[in-house]
Structure 1
Amino acid sequence: MHITTMLKYYNYDIVFQEYPDEVTLAINLTMCPNRCVGCHSAYLREDIGEELTHERLTALIDSYDGTITCVGIQGGDNDPEAVLAAGRYIKQHYEGRLRTGWYSGRTWLPDAATLAASLDYVKTGPYSAKFGPLSSPTTNQRFCRVEADGTLTDMTQRFKKKGVND
């Protein structure tokens, strides 16, 4: 069974900073439509990589069984419904053992029920050099925990760099 023919991934890694307090399998999706000026992963705009099927997603997750606590979908703005479907699949298939997250460059979110059924975390907002990344005090991006009722708890402050007097 396929998630969609519209989601492709180029690479993945285990990361520790993108989702606070999580050991995350971050899957980098391609075909990004956002074209943010200054994007650090501009190659992810291309139609490259392997199709992300349920089978491939399961194989990636299972290869890190017992190591990861979260699966982060990085990108996928070309097909948000497929990203949400992937999140639901992970939540159902892994019966709450893994949290899910989505790094999106968009500024909108789906309705609360859809969001809560699919994701535990969401980062929204396009990258803008003028405002900086999540760690910048002037960032336009937001990182939120998705509560069970679909409301959002802003966690962006967790990314701010601390000074020596903080």
Structure 2
Amino acid sequence: MLKYVNTGVVFQEIPDEVTLAVNISNCPCRCPGCHSRYLWGDVGEPLTPLVLDGFIREYGDDITCICFMGGDSEPEYVDMLARYVHKAYPKMKVGWYSGRTRISSAVNKADFDYIKVGPYIEHLGCLKSRTTNQRLYKRASGDGFTDITYRFWSGKD
């Protein structure tokens, strides 16, 4: 069972969305230089559809997207939660920040509106760096995705 540690309304994780970021624990990636080491342990509360319902009731129209920050230890469960959100709240977008280089073939990528892939590699930088190995994709028409990582880059580096 996935567990979450905390949540926060964020404005920079998903371009053009007001996003409720759900920080998921028990991260198996353990990237050197990680800024969220507190998520490495198996801590927090179970993340269930009922818990997501509570978040959506609490934040209501103030958010346009829910983004799962982690969950790489149980990708099929993250996928199930994404399907649930889309079915129960058709207007809500769903994102997933994964530290893996590829999404598991057991996951239906079309269940997500946004997917970030790539471990954090300190010398390459985060999404804001033009040298980053990480990529954020937005679902395009059908099951295709478009790389929108450039949206994080400023005009100067």
TM range (shorter): over 0.9
Of 134, 150, 153, 2:146 maps to 153
Which residue is equivalent to 1:133?
Answer: 126
Q: Extract unaligned runs of 5+ from structure 2.
A: none
The alpha-carbon deviation at position 110 of structure 1 amounts to 4.4
2:125 is aligned with 1:106: no
Query: Residue 109 of structure 2 aligns to which amino acid in structure 1?
Result: L
2:87 is aligned with 1:92: yes
User: Structure 1, residues 9-64: CA drift from partner, whole Å, max 9, x if none?
Assistant: 00000000000000001000000000100000011001110001111111011111
What percent of counterpart residues are identical?
A: 47
Which residue is equivalent to 2:20?
Answer: 25
Query: Residue 97 of structure 2 aligns to which amino acid in structure 1?
Result: Y
Distance of 1:148 and 1:70 partners within structure 2: 18
TM-score when normalising by structure 1: 0.90
Superposed CA RMSD: 1.6
Number of matched pairs = 157
Runs of 4+ residues over 3 Å off in structure 1:
none
Query: Residue 11 of structure 1 aligns to which amino acid in structure 2?
Result: N
2:63 is aligned with 1:68: yes
Distance of 2:14 and 2:117 partners within structure 1: 13
Q: Extract unaligned runs of 5+ from structure 1.
A: none
The alpha-carbon deviation at position 161 of structure 1 amounts to 2.4
User: Structure 1, residues 105-132: CA drift from partner, whole Å, max 9, x if none?
Assistant: 0011245x9111x100000000001110
Q: 1:25, 1:61 within 8 Å by CA — same for their partners in 2? A: no
SS in 1 for 2:61: coil
The alpha-carbon deviation at position 162 of structure 1 amounts to 2.4
2:40 is aligned with 1:45: yes
Distance of 2:86 and 2:37 partners within structure 1: 30
